[in-house]
Amino acid sequence: MAVADDPNTGVGDYAPGNGETINSSGSYVVTEGQSGPNITPILDAGSLTSPDGDGFFYGDAPLVPTFSFSFLANTVNFELATAYGVNKATINQARLEVINGVVGQTYSQLLTFTDGDVSPGFLLNPSVGTSSPIEYLLFIDDTPITEGVALPWGSLNPGMNTKSLKIGGIVESEVANKVSGTYQSTITVTITNPN
């Protein structure tokens, strides 16, 4: 350990970097480290130590992963015919970002989709008038979504993760009996930690 004899003495005064050692501005003192069960070891930054109690973080506390969900587009339009029967129309991209995640570690979240209607299932409601709604099915990639039931999204890596949001299951004969016009639905997604 270096001990200075003047508060204005810097590290470069002892060892200017050319292999020379200058002792005129202070002196070097040999210290012997202690060891034993009550000694706090030198740890990597963010490590937790607890020699005699609950412990404390050495350096900065590790960052906790957080999650941010969004759709690629806030509003989308599609033709009903593209989602008739077994056809599925990709209408958006679901995006789930893992912020402060650890590289090499995967995460999971639960997503709950709702459309604000009191009836079970997803409905397209007329934007004008009081015509009856059009029922549809919603999918994340090819996995069916049940309204109000949490759907797991696992194997999330740090950074942005994406899946396709699809619509399908529209009955063509029922659409033919509806009033023509624009129909709409607002999807709300709630994300929760599975633990």
How far, in Å, CA of 164 to CA of 99, rounded? 21
Per-domain residue ranges for the chain?
A: 66-192
Q: For position 34, what pLDDT does the model report?
A: 62
Domain 66-192 is in which class? mainly beta
DSSP 188: E
How far, in Å, CA of 137 to CA of 13, rounded? 75
Burial of 97: CB neighbours in 10 Å, binned 0-12, 13-18, 19+: middle
- pLDDT at 17 exceeding the cut of 70: no
- pLDDT at 62 exceeding the cut of 80: no
- pLDDT at 100 exceeding the cut of 70: yes
Burial of 128: CB neighbours in 10 Å, binned 0-12, 13-18, 19+: exposed
3-state secondary structure of 87: coil
Please give the average per-residue pLDDT across 62-84, as a whole number. 94
Over its C-alpha atoms, the chain yields an Rg (Å, rounded) of 31
Please give the average per-residue pLDDT across 165-192, as a whole number. 94
Are 156 and 97 in contact by the 8 Å Cβ rule? The answer is no
How high is the mean pLDDT of the chain? 84
Please give the average per-residue pLDDT across 130-148, as a whole number. 95
pTM assigned to the model: 0.69
